[in-house]
Structure 1
Amino acid sequence: MLVVMKHGATDGQVRDVVRAIEDMGYRARPMPGAQRTTVGLVGNDGRVEESRLVGIEGVLRVIHVSPPYKQVSREWWPENTVIELSNGVRIGEKDVVVMAGPCSVESREQILETAHRVAEAGATVLRGGAFKPRTSPYSFQGLGEEGLQLLARAREETGLAIVTEALDTESMGLVAEYTDVIQIGARNMQNYSLLRAAGRAGKPVLLKRGMAATIKELLLAAEYVVAEGESRVMLCERGVRNFDTHARNLFDLTAIVTIHELSHLPVVADPSHGTGARSKVGPLARAAVAAGADALILEVHPDPPTAASDGQQSLTLEQFDALMAELHPIANAIGRRIARARVPAHG
C-alpha cells in the first residue's frame, strides 16, 4: 500500500503518517520525490484500516499495490484450489461438475424423481432449497428441516452430494448437519455474520455473487469465509442486475475468466438465475463451460409450470438430458470433461 502525500505536504505531516502506520503494527517507508512524497506500508496482511490514513492532514490518496483480499488471491496461492465432496467428486480440476435440481424442495416424490433423473443424466450434485429467501413474504418459503431430510434421503438413494442454502446464522447449524455444501445466496453475499458462521461450519461453501456486486466485492466476501478457517470456497456467477428487460439478469461470462485470473478458488456458473428464462439457460450453460467454469448449477423440475418457485427458468427433465449430451463435446474441445459418478440402482 502506498500513501501519496499532497504537493507541499510538510515533514511533520509525513511523520504523522509514519506514526499512524507504525501504531497499526506495520513498517513505514517514506519515499521523497521531486513533486511529492509517498509513504510505503510494508507488511500489509489485508487488515489495514484505510480510513485511519486518508483522514490525516496532508494525505492525497491511498493506493493499493496488492489486492485487499489476501487468502483468496492467486498471489497468495498460485495453484488452483480443489474441493472434494463427500461422494468423491472434485471441483477445480479437469472435470466440470454439474449441480442440478429444483429451486425448492416441494415433496418427497418431486425431489426423489428429480434426483434420480439428473443423476442418470450425469449430474453429481443435487441442488434444492429447503429455506427460500423470497422477495414477497407471502411466497413459498420452503419446507425447512423436512426439506433437508428429503435431500438427505435423495443423497442416500442416488449418491449425489447435496447443496442447499443457509439463510441466517440460526439455520446454519441445521443446514451444515444435513448438507455437503452450504450455499450463501446472492442476497446474503455481504451478510458478514453469516459469512463468518459459514467459515466455522466445517463444510465447503458455495458463495453467490450479489445482484449488484463487483468481482472485488465477491472476493472480499469470500475472504470473510476463508479468514474463519474454511478454505473450501466456490465462487458463483449468477448474473447481475441490468437495465435491459429481455432477461432477469445480465449473466457475466467475463466474470468466469476474471475470477480465475484473480483467485485460486473454483468458479461455478448459474445460468438459471443468470438469465431467468428456460430458453436461455442451455445456450449460456454451454458458453459457461467453454469459458472455463469449473461447475454449473442448474434448476431442473419435473413439471416447471407447477413449480413453487422459479418455474420459468427451470429445465424439464428431458431438456436437462439433452443439455448434458451437448456439454460433453464442448468440455472435450477445451481439454476437460463432464464429471460423472456411479449411480446406485433404484431401491
Structure 2
Amino acid sequence: MILILKNKATDGQIDHVLARVEELGLQHHLSRGTHRTIVGIIGDEDKLREEPLRAISGVAEVIPVLPPFKLASIDAHPDPSVIDVSGVKIGGGNLGMIAGPCSVEEPDRMFRIAESVAESGANLFRGGAYKPRTSPYAFQGTGEDGLKLLREVGDKFSMPVVTEVTDPRLVELVAGYADMLQVGARNMQNFALLTEVGKTKRPVLLKRGMSATITDLLMCAEYILSQGNPNVVLCERGIKSFDPSTRNLFDVAAVPMVHSLSHLPIIVDPSHATGRPDLIPACALAGIAAGADGVHVEVHDCPEVAKSDGPQALLPEQYAELAGQMRKMAELLGKQISPLPETLV
C-alpha cells in the first residue's frame, strides 16, 4: 500500500504516519520528492484495509497495491477456473450457452422452447420462477410451482437449469430444484443473499448491477467465495447510460477486463444489455470474440404473449441461426460449446 502525503505535511505529521504504520507491525519506506512525500508500506495489506488511514493528519491519498478481492483475484488463482454445472463446463475454453424464456410459463410452452434451444446447441435452460419487478403490480413469477416445472423440463432434455433466487429465505428452496442459482442485477449487492448462496455450494450466476463497477462486481463475488463456494460465474448484462437507444449499455470491454483481474469465468447477456432482438446476435458474437465464457439469451416462441420481457426475446428459429454462428466463432477461437451431459450429474 502507498500513502501519498499532502504537499504541506509537516515533519511531525510524517513522523506520526510512520509511527502508526509501525504500531500495525508493518515496515515503511519514506520517499521525499520535490512536490510529494510518499510512504510505501511493506507487509500484509489485510491489516490495513479496515484502518482509517485516510483520516491521519497529513495523508492525502491511500493507494492499495493488491486488489481487495483476494479470492476472486487472478493473483490468488493464476489459472482460469472451470465451473461444472451438473456436467456442463463453463470457463477454460468451455462455453456455457444459456437460453430460455424470461419467466417460467405454461408447461407446453416451456417444453417446446427447451426442446428447440437444446436442438440448437444450448446447454443450460433458464426461466424465472421468482421475478423481481420494478412495479409491485407486475407479474412476480409462479414460485415453487415454477421451480417444479423447470426441474421437470430440465430432466426431460438433460439440460441443467438456472433460475433466479431473490431472497435469502428462498435459497434453500430454490437450490433444491436448480442446478445453478442466479443472483440478478438488482440483487448484486444484496450481501445477505450473497452470503446465503455462498453457503450452498451450488454454482452461482452473478449478474453485474446496473450501476456497478468491475471492482463492485468482483467484491460481490468475493462474498460468495468467502463462504466456501468457489463456483461463481460472472455475467455482463449491461449498465445504465445516458443513451436511450438501447435498454442498457453493453460493456463488452468488461469481459477482457475481468479476465485480466480474476480467474472467474464471465459470460455476456445481450438480451438484457440491449433489449432489442435485432442487436442481440451482433452483441453475442462480439462478447465471444472479446473472450466471454458463454452467452445468455432469452428465447420465446411467441414474445407478444410473454409474461415478462417479451420484446427482447429471440424466436426459436432466430436463436438456432445465432447458435450456429456462435459455434463457428467458438471454433475459430479454439473453444468449444460444452456438450449436454447424457444424464444430469
Q: CA RMSD in A?
A: 1.9
Question: In 2, Cα distance between the equivalents of 1:138 and 1:148?
Answer: 21
Per the alignment, residue 171 of structure 2 pairs with 172
Question: In 1, Cα distance between the equivalents of 2:91 and 2:309?
Answer: 28
Per the alignment, residue 215 of structure 2 pairs with 216
Aligned residues with identical type, % of pairs: 44
Question: In 2, Cα distance between the equivalents of 1:146 and 1:26?
Answer: 57
TM-aligned CA distance change 1:39 to 1:83, over 3 Å = same
- Per-residue deviation, 1:228: 1.4
1:66 aligned onto 2:66: yes
- Per-residue deviation, 1:71: 1.1
Per the alignment, residue 55 of structure 2 pairs with 55
- Per-residue deviation, 1:74: 0.9
Question: In 1, Cα distance between the equivalents of 2:25 and 2:334?
Answer: 45
Per the alignment, residue 45 of structure 1 pairs with 46
- Per-residue deviation, 1:183: 0.7
Question: In 2, Cα distance between the equivalents of 1:135 and 1:280?
Answer: 24
Q: Calculate the TM-score normalised by the size of structure 1.
A: 0.93
Q: Calculate the TM-score normalised by the size of structure 2.
A: 0.93
1:300 aligned onto 2:302: no
Question: In 1, Cα distance between the equivalents of 2:18 and 2:47?
Answer: 18
Question: In 2, Cα distance between the equivalents of 1:208 and 1:63?
Answer: 28
Per the alignment, residue 256 of structure 1 pairs with 255
TM-aligned CA distance change 1:6 to 1:327, over 3 Å = same
TM-aligned CA distance change 1:118 to 1:26, over 3 Å = farther
Could you tell me whether the CA contact under 8 Å between 2:21 and 2:41 is conserved in 1? no
Question: In 2, Cα distance between the equivalents of 1:16 and 1:100?
Answer: 59
**Stretch of structure 1 that moved more, 8-17 or 75-84:** 8-17
Helix, strand or coil: the match of 2:278? helix
- Per-residue deviation, 1:142: 0.3
Measured against aligned partners, the alpha-carbon deviations of 1:267-304 in whole angstroms (never above 9, x if no partner) come to: 11100001101111111112211221111111011211
Gaps in structure 1 of 5+ consecutive residues: none
Query: Match of 1:199, as an amino acid?
Result: G
Per the alignment, residue 268 of structure 1 pairs with 267
Query: Match of 1:235, as an amino acid?
Result: L
Count matched residues. 341
Per the alignment, residue 130 of structure 1 pairs with 129
Question: In 2, Cα distance between the equivalents of 1:325 and 1:310?
Answer: 24
Question: In 2, Cα distance between the equivalents of 1:222 and 1:22?
Answer: 33
Could you tell me whether the CA contact under 8 Å between 1:26 and 1:43 is conserved in 2? no
Question: In 1, Cα distance between the equivalents of 2:149 and 2:331?
Answer: 35
Helix, strand or coil: the match of 1:178? coil
Question: In 1, Cα distance between the equivalents of 2:162 and 2:22?
Answer: 45
Could you tell me whether the CA contact under 8 Å between 1:9 and 1:58 is conserved in 2? yes
**Stretch of structure 1 that moved more, 133-142 or 173-182:** 173-182
Question: In 1, Cα distance between the equivalents of 2:31 and 2:319?
Answer: 63
1:5 aligned onto 2:10: no
User: Where does structure 1 differ by over 6 angstroms across 4 or more consecutive aligned residues?
Assistant: none
Measured against aligned partners, the alpha-carbon deviations of 1:213-267 in whole angstroms (never above 9, x if no partner) come to: 1111111111111111111111100011121121111111111111111111001
Per the alignment, residue 120 of structure 1 pairs with 119
Could you tell me whether the CA contact under 8 Å between 1:253 and 1:291 is conserved in 2? yes
